[in-house]
Amino acid sequence: MSEQFTDPTCIFCKMVSGEIAVKPLFENSHAIVISDINPQAPVHALAIPKRHVPSFAALSANDADILTSVMFAAAEFARSQGLDASGYRLNINHGVDGGQTVGHLHVHILGGRKMTWPPG
């Protein structure tokens, strides 16, 4: 299990705590969904655990409830946007090669346009 519950220097923790004001697009027990500040698709949001988990790679079996909440938040948000029929992409970046730039686990939800493969 990740040791820290919150990291005072983490921008996503500040959003969860309310130190940085943000209106979640969706919320459940362990996760919130926020708009990405630099959208790469007509719909681009981030599903974020309320607890500070530095990365996907930091998850352990004890974090199953957190991971479930994050993934269900992504699914329910996508459904609320009417994306179930057209499709969408979920993306998790880990580490330098994965292109992770914020050190708090987040699942990108991208939709509203046709995605390309492979990703860059």
Q: Is 2 in the site for ligand AMP (CB under 6 A)?
A: no
Residues 6+ apart with CB under 8 A from 81: 43, 111, 112
Measured on CA atoms in the order 39, 14, 22, 55, is the torsion positive or negative?
Answer: positive
Residue closer to Zn ion (CB basis): 12 or 88: 12
Residues between 56 and 75 with contacts to Zn ion, criterion CB under 5 A: none
Q: Is 55 in the site for ligand AMP (CB under 6 A)?
A: no
Quick check: 41 and 50 in contact, CB under 8 A? Answer: no
Retrieve residue 105's tokens. 């686990």
Among the options 30, 52, 106, 108, which is catalytic? 106
Give the C-alpha separation, 51 to 1, whole Å.
11
44 is catalytic: no
Stretch that binds ligand AMP, among 2-10, 31-39, 64-72, 73-81 (CB under 6 A): 31-39
Q: Is 37 in the site for ligand AMP (CB under 6 A)?
A: yes
Residue closer to Zn ion (CB basis): 33 or 83: 33
Extended strands (E) in 17-120: 26-27, 31-35, 43-49, 88-91, 107-111
Retrieve residue 112's tokens. 């509203």
Provide the binding-site residues for Zn ion, judged by CB under 5 A.
Answer: 7, 10, 12-13, 52, 104
Catalytic residues: 106
The binding site for ligand AMP (CB under 6 A) comprises 11, 34, 36-38, 46, 93, 99-102
